[in-house]
Structure 1
Amino acid sequence: MKFISWNINGLRAILKRGLEQTLLDFEADAICLQETKLQAGQATVSLPGYHQFWNYSERPGYAGTAIFTKHEPIQVTYGLNEPEFDHEGRVITLEYQNYYLITSYTPNSGQELKRLAFRNDWDQVFREYVKQLATNKPVIFCGDLNVAHEEIDLKNPKTNHQRAGFTDTERANFTTLLKSGFTDSFRHFYPDATGQYSWWSYRFNARQNNAGWRIDYFVVSNPLMSQIQGAKILSNVMGSDHCPVELDTDELV
């Protein structure tokens, strides 16, 4: 099976750049999107053969997630069942017979770290959410998690230390999450690979110079790792300031 995750940074804009054909070309079993930035009824995506699930932010033109899947789930859950965190359309969970699939758009700590406390609370709540699910069956969660975990995961770690996405708090929280029973699938296969990024600033020709950050992930419950075949960063796919990431697995459904 093939899973794709992609922060598209505005669905309506990327639709004009051929999004539908790009998504079909993936030939994926499930496609998870973040930062859709739209409300219900503002756009339609034509993907024959896919079920569509959307979670919209209450704030117009902000955040939002979607999952397109060829496999109808048993159950769909929106949000984390925590009112403080469920106004921005950041999480969708699909339950299948043998696993859960989650798309997540983790809050950014913001300029001058004004939202770091909110982000820290989010990290705790999200960790407990996925840990609880994992007591029932394995979990695959993906998305723009807005953290570069280690220095190897961004081009300029020293100059970006304590900036949003590379604070000691965010990195430690991600370490704690992994230690609670999960694996960063890309680092499992490529523990020492450098220059592998999924986001580049629009400024300073960052993408052309590959001055990026790896902040988009597929994270997998440890018991499921024996069924994971590979993980990829699709840096050649354009259309957003992020590129898609991919997870390849045995047949899970």
Structure 2
Amino acid sequence: MKLISWNVNGIRACVKKGFLNYFTEIDADIFAIQETKLQAGQLALELPGYEQYWNCAERKGYSGTAIFTKKKPLSVRYGMGIAKHDTEGRLITLEFPAFYFVTVYTPNSRRDLSRLDYRLEWEKDLLAYINELDQRKPVVLCGDLNVAHQAIDLKNPKANAKNSGFTKEERERMSAFLACGYVDSFRLLHPDREGAYTWWSYMNNVRARNIGWRIDYFIVSASLKKAIRSAEIHPEVLRSDHCPVAMTLVPDAL
């Protein structure tokens, strides 16, 4: 089972840059996107063979998530069920027989860290939500989590020690999440791989020099570890400031 997650940084712009070519070529069983930046009715994607689920922010041109799946889910849920978190279209949950599939676009704490407190509260509530799901069946969580967990996950850790996405508080929150029985699939299979990034600034040609951050993830319940066959990053895909991340699960192990 092939799973893809990609922050497209505006799906309408990404479509103009060839999103559908990549989508068709990769032929994923489930394909999740974040930062769609649209409202309902602004784009009609023709994706034969796929069910589509969209969660749009109330604010125009902001945030938003979507999931495209070949197999129809047993149930669909938008948001966490907490009003203050559910206006920005940041979460979709699909229930399948063997697991829950959740895509997330974690709030950015902003350059001046003015949204750090809210972001930490959001993550605390997200963990409670995922734990609740995990009590029923395993969880596959993917998306732009807006944090480089360890120093190996960005090019310049010392220079960014107090910056959004690499603060002590954000990294500790990620560690606490994983300690509750979840696994970062990429680091499970590639614990020492350096230079593996999923986001690069548009400034100063940093992508060509691979000065980036790994902030996009597939995280799974520990009970699914044996089902992970591969976890990959596709930096060659250039249609966004993020690149897609992929995970393959072995169906027989689910």
Aligned residues: 253
**Residue identity opposite 2:208 in structure 1:** Q
| CA distance in structure 1 between the partners assigned to 2:162 and 2:53 by the alignment | 35
Deviation at 1:21, TM superposition (A): 1.9
Cα deviations across residues 120-167 of structure 1 (Å, max 9, x unaligned)?
A: 101100011101100000000000000000000000000011111000
**TM-score, structure 1 length as denominator?**
0.99
Q: How does 1:19-58 map to 2 (within 5 A)?
A: 19-58=19-58
Deviation at 1:251, TM superposition (A): 1.6
Q: Identity of aligned pairs, percent?
A: 51
**Which moves more between the two structures, 160-169 or 14-23?**
14-23
Q: Which residue is equivalent to 1:92?
A: 92
Cα deviations across residues 142-195 of structure 1 (Å, max 9, x unaligned)?
A: 000000000000000000111110000100000000000100000000001000
Q: Which residue is equivalent to 1:227?
A: 227
Q: Which residue is equivalent to 1:117?
A: 117
| CA distance in structure 1 between the partners assigned to 2:39 and 2:74 by the alignment | 25
Q: Which residue is equivalent to 2:102?
A: 102
| CA distance in structure 2 between the partners assigned to 1:8 and 1:45 by the alignment | 14
Q: Which residue is equivalent to 2:156?
A: 156
Where does structure 1 lack aligned partners over 5 or more consecutive residues? none
| CA distance in structure 2 between the partners assigned to 1:47 and 1:196 by the alignment | 30
| CA distance in structure 2 between the partners assigned to 1:134 and 1:170 by the alignment | 22
| CA distance in structure 2 between the partners assigned to 1:54 and 1:173 by the alignment | 27
Runs of 4 or more, structure 1, over 4 Å off, are: none
**Residue identity opposite 1:188 in structure 2:** L
Deviation at 1:214, TM superposition (A): 0.1
User: What RMSD in Å do the two structures reach over aligned CA positions?
Assistant: 0.8
Deviation at 1:22, TM superposition (A): 1.2
Deviation at 1:4, TM superposition (A): 0.1
**Which moves more between the two structures, 197-206 or 12-21?**
12-21
| CA distance in structure 1 between the partners assigned to 2:23 and 2:79 by the alignment | 24
Where does structure 2 lack aligned partners over 5 or more consecutive residues? none
Cα deviations across residues 41-68 of structure 1 (Å, max 9, x unaligned)?
A: 0011111100000000000000000000
**Residue identity opposite 2:163 in structure 1:** R
Indicate yes or no: 2:135 matched with 1:132: no
Q: Which residue is equivalent to 1:185?
A: 185
Cα deviations across residues 61-108 of structure 1 (Å, max 9, x unaligned)?
A: 000000000010000000011111000000000001110000000000
